[in-house]
C-alpha cells in the first residue's frame, strides 16, 4: 500500500512549508518508507479523508489515519520497529516532547514574528483572508504592526536558538551522532522559515546554520530540493 | 573510598544552593552512591584540591577529580555502568545537552531576575562583595535595578517554563516514566530558586510544581530536607 502524507502549501503546491508537516516528511524518510505527499491549502484540509482533521499533517497508511506530527512519529516507530529508530528508546520519546515544547514555545514565536507576512503572501486569496483573521486574533497584533517589527525579530532570532547552539557545541545532532526526531522537530521550524522567507537569517558559520545544512543534505537532499 | 562532592553555600553551610551542584547531588543519588558533600563559599573554591577548579561542583572519587556538573554525570555513567543509567543511551546524552541549553539560556535568566538579591543576602560578607561586583558586570544592571523588577520577573517565570510544562502533559518525567539527568538539570534550577527565595513562585497545581514535588520526594526526600 502507498503511504500518503497530507501536508500544507500556499498558492504553489511545489512549496509545502508547514513546520509540522516537515517533521513528518523527515520522519518518513528516516524510516526509509516510500510515500506520496499531497500538499493542501489551509481551506482544503477539511475536504480530505472525510474531514478527519482540521490540521495537517495527516498520514494515511493502509487502513490507518493519524494526524499530528508527534503522533505520526510514534505510529511510525511502533509500526516499523525494524527500521531505524526515531527516538532511541522510551526516554527519547519524553526528551523529544521537551524539544517540541522548546520549539513551539520559544522558536516558533521567534519565527512567526519574522515570517508571518511572508506566509500570508504565499497563500491563495481565499486562504489569505482566513489566515490574516485567525492570526491577527491569535497574536493580538495587525499584520502591519508585525511587518514594522520584522528587523527587530530577525535580530532576536539567534537568542531563541541559543539552547540548540549550546547542544551543538557537544554533539552534531540532537540525536547524538546521527539525527533523531528531536532534530526534525527543530529542523521543521527552520525549514518553515527558509521556505517562507528564503533564508534562515543566521550567519553561515553559526553552528545552527551548519547543523541545518547537514539536515538539508539528508536523504539525498530531499528537504533542500524545496525552495 | 569515599566520594566527595564540593558544592556551594552561603553563610550557612547547611543550605547549599547552586543549581549545578544540585544536578551532581541528584546524579550521585540516582547512581546509588554514598558520598560526602562539602559546601564551600564562593571565595573558598580556589582553596580546595590545590585550586583544581574555579567553579563547583567538583567531584573527588579516589584518584579522579572532575569539575562541571555534566562532565560529572558523564563520569558517573561511564564509571558505574551497572547502576541505573543517567542518560538512557547515547541519544540521551545529546538530548540532555539540549535540556542543559534550555535550562541555562531560558530558565536560568528568568530565575536570576527573581533571586539575585536573595542570593546576595545569603552570602557571607566577603563573598557578597565578590558576588555583587561580578554579577553587576555580567548583567549590566545594578542590584537596585534588579530588585525593582522582581515582581515582573516572577510574573514572567511561568512562560519560561512552558517547554517543560508542555512535556509534562505527556510524560511524568523528562526521562519518561522515571527521572534521568535531564530532570535533574531542570530540577537544579528550581531547587536553586526554592532555597534562595523560599518558593518556586508557581501555583501548586501547575504541572511544573507537581513534577518538582515528585523530584523533591526522590531518594528519601534528600532535596526536600534542605530548606
Mutate to test the interface with B, among A94, A162, A179, A181 (most CBs of B within 10 A): A94
Q: What is the mean pLDDT of chain B?
A: 95
Q: Across the interface, which of A93, A101, A159 has its CB nearest the CB of B176?
A: A93
Alpha helices (H) in chain B, listed in sequence order: 19-30, 69-79, 90-102, 108-122, 125-139, 143-148, 150-160, 162-168, 181-197, 207-216, 218-221
Query: What would the mean pLDDT of A33-38 be, rounded to a whole number?
Result: 97
pLDDT tens digits, one per residue of A20-34: 999 999 999 999 999
pLDDT given for residue A142 in this prediction: 92
Clarify whether residues B94 and B27 are in a common domain: no
Residue B155 lies in a domain: yes
Q: Counting beta carbons within 10 angstroms of the beta carbon of residue B136, is it exposed (0 to 12), middle (13 to 18) or buried (19 or more)?
A: middle
Clarify whether residues A95 and A52 are in a common domain: no
pLDDT tens digits, one per residue of B55-112: 999 999 999 999 999 999 999 999 999 999 999 877 789 899 999 999 999 999 999 9
Q: What is the mean pLDDT of chain A?
A: 95
Mutate to test the interface with A, among B87, B92, B94, B185 (most CBs of A within 10 A): B94
8 Å CB contact between B99 and B56: no
Clarify whether residues B72 and B147 are in a common domain: no
| Residue A91, pLDDT above cutoff 80 | no
Share of chain A above pLDDT 90, in %: 93
How far apart CA A223 and CA A25 sit, in angstroms, is 9
| Residue A213, pLDDT above cutoff 70 | yes
Positive or negative CA dihedral for A101, A106, A111, A113?
positive
Return the C-alpha cell found at B170.
505527556
pLDDT given for residue A1 in this prediction: 67
pLDDT given for residue B190 in this prediction: 98
pLDDT given for residue B75 in this prediction: 98
CA distance A69 to chain B (A): 14
CA distance B97 to chain A (A): 5
Q: Which residues of chain B neighbour A173 with C-beta distances below 8 Å?
A: 94
Q: What residues make up the domain containing A56?
A: 3-79
pLDDT given for residue B1 in this prediction: 67
pLDDT bracket for residue A110 (50, 70, 90): very high
pLDDT tens digits, one per residue of B27-50: 999 999 999 999 999 989 999 999
User: Is B105 close to A166, i.e. CB distance below 8 A?
Assistant: yes
What H or E segment, with its residue span, contains residue A187?
A: helix A181-197
- Report the CATH number that the domain containing residue B109 is assigned in CATH: 1.20.1050.10
Does any CB of chain B come closer than 8 Å to the CB of residue A188? no
Residue A101 lies in a domain: yes
DSSP state of A57: -
Q: Which residues of chain A neighbour B99 with C-beta distances below 8 Å?
A: 95, 98
Strands, E assignment, A91-184: none
8 Å CB contact between A73 and A27: yes
pLDDT tens digits, one per residue of A94-108: 899 999 999 999 999
pLDDT bracket for residue B122 (50, 70, 90): very high
Domain end residue (candidates: B53, B79, B105): B79
8 Å CB contact between B13 and B48: no
With CA atoms as reference, the chain A residue closest to B88 would be: A91
Residue B43 lies in a domain: yes
Nearest to B23 by CA among B65, B62, B67: B67
- Report the CATH number that the domain containing residue B29 is assigned in CATH: 3.40.30.10
Q: Across the interface, which of A90, A169, A176 has its CB nearest the CB of B93?
A: A176
Q: Across the interface, which of B98, B159, B164 has its CB nearest the CB of A174?
A: B98
8 Å CB contact between B122 and B196: yes
User: Is A99 close to B100, i.e. CB distance below 8 A?
Assistant: no
Does any CB of chain B come closer than 8 Å to the CB of residue A162? yes
CA B31 to each of CA A18, A141, A212, B8, B179: distance values in angstroms, whole numbers, following the listed order: 42, 50, 36, 21, 12
Residue B213 lies in a domain: yes
Residue B84 lies in a domain: no
pLDDT tens digits, one per residue of B163-174: 999 999 999 999
Mutate to test the interface with B, among A71, A86, A95 (most CBs of B within 10 A): A95
Domain end residue (candidates: B79, B109, B130): B79
Clarify whether residues B71 and B172 are in a common domain: no
Clarify whether residues B42 and B140 are in a common domain: no
Residue A227 lies in a domain: no
Residue A27 lies in a domain: yes
Q: Across the interface, which of B96, B101, B166 has its CB nearest the CB of A101?
A: B166
* DSSP string of A6-49, one letter each residue: EEE-SS-TT----HHHHHHHHHHHHTT--EEEEEE-GGGGGGSG
pLDDT tens digits, one per residue of A142-194: 999 999 999 999 999 999 999 999 999 999 999 999 999 999 999 999 999 99
Clarify whether residues B206 and B152 are in a common domain: yes
Clarify whether residues A74 and A113 are in a common domain: no
pLDDT given for residue A92 in this prediction: 87
Does any CB of chain B come closer than 8 Å to the CB of residue A99? yes
Long-range contacts of residues B1-4, Cβ cutoff 8 Å, at least 24 apart: B1/B61, B1/B62, B2/B34, B2/B35, B2/B36, B3/B28, B3/B33, B3/B34, B3/B35, B3/B36, B3/B59, B3/B60, B3/B61, B4/B35, B4/B36, B4/B37, B4/B38, B4/B59, B4/B60
How far apart CA A65 and CA A59 sit, in angstroms, is 6
Residue length, chain A? 227
Residue A162 lies in a domain: yes
Clarify whether residues A145 and A199 are in a common domain: yes
Clarify whether residues B94 and B168 are in a common domain: yes
pLDDT bracket for residue A120 (50, 70, 90): very high
Domain end residue (candidates: A32, A59, A79): A79
Global ipTM: 0.93
Clarify whether residues A119 and A211 are in a common domain: yes
Clarify whether residues A99 and A57 are in a common domain: no
Count of structural domains within chain B: 2
Does any CB of chain B come closer than 8 Å to the CB of residue A84? no
Clarify whether residues B95 and B60 are in a common domain: no
pLDDT bracket for residue A137 (50, 70, 90): very high
Amino acid at each position: 500500500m502507498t503511504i500518503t502524507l497530507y501536508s500544507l502549501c500556499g498558492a504553489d503546491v511545489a512549496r509545502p512549508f508547514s513546520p509540522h508537516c516537515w517533521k513528518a516528511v523527515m520522519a518518513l524518510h528516516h524510516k526509509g518508507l516510500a510515500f506520496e505527499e499531497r500538499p493542501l491549502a489551509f481551506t482544503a484540509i477539511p475536504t480530505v479523508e472525510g474531514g478527519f482533521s482540521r490540521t495537517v499533517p495527516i498520514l494515511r497508511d493502509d487502513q490507518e489515519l493519524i494526524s499530528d506530527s508527534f503522533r505520526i512519529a510514534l505510529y511510525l516507530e511502533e509500526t516499523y520497529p525494524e527500521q531505524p529508530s526515531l527516538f532511541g528508546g522510551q526516554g527519547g520519546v519524553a526528551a523529544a516532547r521537551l524539544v517540541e515544547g522548546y520549539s513551539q514555545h520559544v522558536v516558533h514565536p521567534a519565527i512567526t514574528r519574522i515570517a508571518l507576512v511572508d506566509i500570508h503572501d504565499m497563500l491563495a486569496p481565499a486562504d489569505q483572508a482566513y489566515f490574516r483573521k485567525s492570526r491577527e486574533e491569535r497574536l493580538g497584533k495587525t499584520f502591519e504592526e508585525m511587518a514594522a517589527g520584522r528587523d527587530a525579530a530577525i535580530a532576536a532570532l539567534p537568542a531563541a536558538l541559543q539552547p540548540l547552539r549550546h547542544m551543538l557545541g557537544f554533539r552534531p545532532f540532537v540525536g547524538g551522532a546521527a539525527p533523531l526526531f528531536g532534530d526534525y522537530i527543530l529542523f521543521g521550524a527552520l525549514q518553515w522559515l527558509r521556505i517562507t522567507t528564503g533564508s534562515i537569517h543566521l550567519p553561515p558559520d553559526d553552528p545552527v546554520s551548519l547543523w541545518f545544512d547537514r539536515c538539508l543534505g539528508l536523504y539525498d537532499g530531499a528537504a533542500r530540493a524545496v525552495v
